[in-house]
Structure 1
């Protein structure tokens, strides 16, 4: 029985890397009437009306005691499309604070918003994002978490006589990983306030490579690389969910991305981390 040769890819998601065909990667594809009628995106900002390009005052803010004093008339100055977008991005920076006020990764959202504002669709990668991904992998210990599944199934099939992993058992390892819970930033509390919940949250595509596997008479140690990729963009199903729609941050984001006056381009975020997994005989 031959041993598997590493490095080797042992898992890839059905969802592809570098996938621009999804709805959350579309931009500038919706007119004003659709945004208002279909998604209820009438009130977007406290600062500017993106539909009329008009600066807002205290008389326009629904939360102000002066709201409605002059009916539906906007009394602020007109803005250009560029000025309006700049004001909306500044407001996004402010409204992101409740989601990213703690921890070493809280500043990532500012960098990603800057990349979004450039509207070039340039892939985003940052060493701090890799660290956050590595920390997430190391912190997951539940039974069906991917790291645990890897540990249990590598240990199950190790061939101590031949000091390796049987090549014909790789399919068993892949099958087990398909039923595991892949790493993503959706913890009950921490990811909602450390910035990772709004920068990544889910991970669209994942690949797992075993880079090296060492076996001796007493146990084994594997070096495993995880590569994840997500889309920094909102799709229709996102904005229809109350958990997104209720927050001004996401309403502004959707309008900046999808409104045909703006059309700021979403982009891919890529992260990578290598962790060691080991077990005893």
Structure 2
């Protein structure tokens, strides 16, 4: 071998492309978290509910703890010495769920998602803790993601990072740059239903702050100076209340949360909370930046 050949520089190896589909983000809160505080049921006594949580006048129709019906007229009750009518636990639950649905209309009275709240209450009543899925929730999640045009939107950040980090010369996203994508998404704002309109469409009370989210890039195609990516969001929330929910000064002023808490947490009823599942698939495109170095 000649000296010239020995000193020749070898061409640097091409970077390996990142393989898709790839999950680029998972929240700290895990999926299927049945051990979460808001997934408890039937764990509190009547004394605890009345003492720590001050849940006494829960229903306008009856006393859930005794089953005694509330008199419709004070005068009639004052002069009528007959014992108060009592109902069994099944009837107590039926009455409370009816009140639950009725009161939910205060938080769910506008827009195409307003039927979700009543559906979820009935699901709690009859499905013994089974997970809940509805196409309307999928639609709501997709709409929320697309409507967030802020710089901290997770989808906006994914689109921006892909544009800046794709190896345009080699026509792929390098496996060496995987952490750039995941680290950027960690700093983003994830989907949640805390907008003003969510206070009227039912989403603010049914899902609100989503418990867990996974984001997966299903595919990435690069064609010249353009890319097309398919991004999948899988989100999950809990239809259940923890102690802090009903002790919160804001929420405790609404009787709906008293009824919900008693239905779920009182040992005498113990209706199971459940997982709420949502998914959304979105298509994004981008172009090679003018100042791209690779």
Question: 1:63 corresponds to which residue?
Answer: none
Question: 1:134 corresponds to which residue?
Answer: 142
Report SS of the residue matched to 2:98: helix
**Does 1:242 find its partner at 2:249?**
yes
**Does 1:276 find its partner at 2:283?**
yes
Q: What does the per-residue CA deviation read over 1:48-92, in whole Å, with 9 as the maximum and x for residues that have no partner?
A: 111121111345xxxxxx59x85xx99752111000110000001
Which residue of the other structure, out of 22, 40, 46, is the alignment partner of 1:26? 40
Question: 1:12 corresponds to which residue?
Answer: 26
Report SS of the residue matched to 1:101: coil
Q: Which segment is superposed worse, 143-152 or 196-205?
A: 143-152
Matches within 5 A, 1:123-162: 123-162=131-170
Which residue of the other structure, out of 181, 192, 199, is the alignment partner of 2:199? 192
* CA distance in 1: counterparts of 2:267 and 2:209, whole angstroms: 27
Conservation of the 8 A alpha-carbon contact between 1:123 and 1:269: yes
Conservation of the 8 A alpha-carbon contact between 1:88 and 1:252: yes
Q: TM (normalized to structure 1)? A: 0.92
**Does 1:84 find its partner at 2:92?**
yes
* CA distance in 2: counterparts of 1:190 and 1:79, whole angstroms: 39
* CA distance in 1: counterparts of 2:72 and 2:189, whole angstroms: 47
Question: 2:121 corresponds to which residue?
Answer: 113
Question: 1:215 corresponds to which residue?
Answer: 222
Report SS of the residue matched to 2:172: coil
Report SS of the residue matched to 1:238: helix
Which residue of the other structure, out of 224, 230, 245, is the alignment partner of 2:237? 230
Distance 1:151 1:112, change over 3 A: same
**Does 1:201 find its partner at 2:226?**
no
Determine which structure has more spread, i.e. the larger CA radius of gyration: 2
Matches within 5 A, 1:165-180: 165-180=173-188
Conservation of the 8 A alpha-carbon contact between 1:54 and 1:74: no
Report SS of the residue matched to 1:100: coil
Conservation of the 8 A alpha-carbon contact between 1:210 and 1:224: yes
Q: Which runs of 4+ in 1 moved over 4 A?
A: 73-76
Instruction: Name stretches of at least 5 consecutive residues in structure 2 with no aligned partner.
Output: 1-14, 289-294
Shift in Å at residue 18 of structure 1? Answer: 0.7
Which residue of the other structure, out of 50, 53, 58, is the alignment partner of 2:64? 50
* CA distance in 2: counterparts of 1:77 and 1:147, whole angstroms: 58
* CA distance in 1: counterparts of 2:284 and 2:72, whole angstroms: 57
**Aligned residues between the structures:** 271
Q: What does the per-residue CA deviation read over 1:4-44, in whole Å, with 9 as the maximum and x for residues that have no partner?
A: 11111111111111111111111000001111111111111
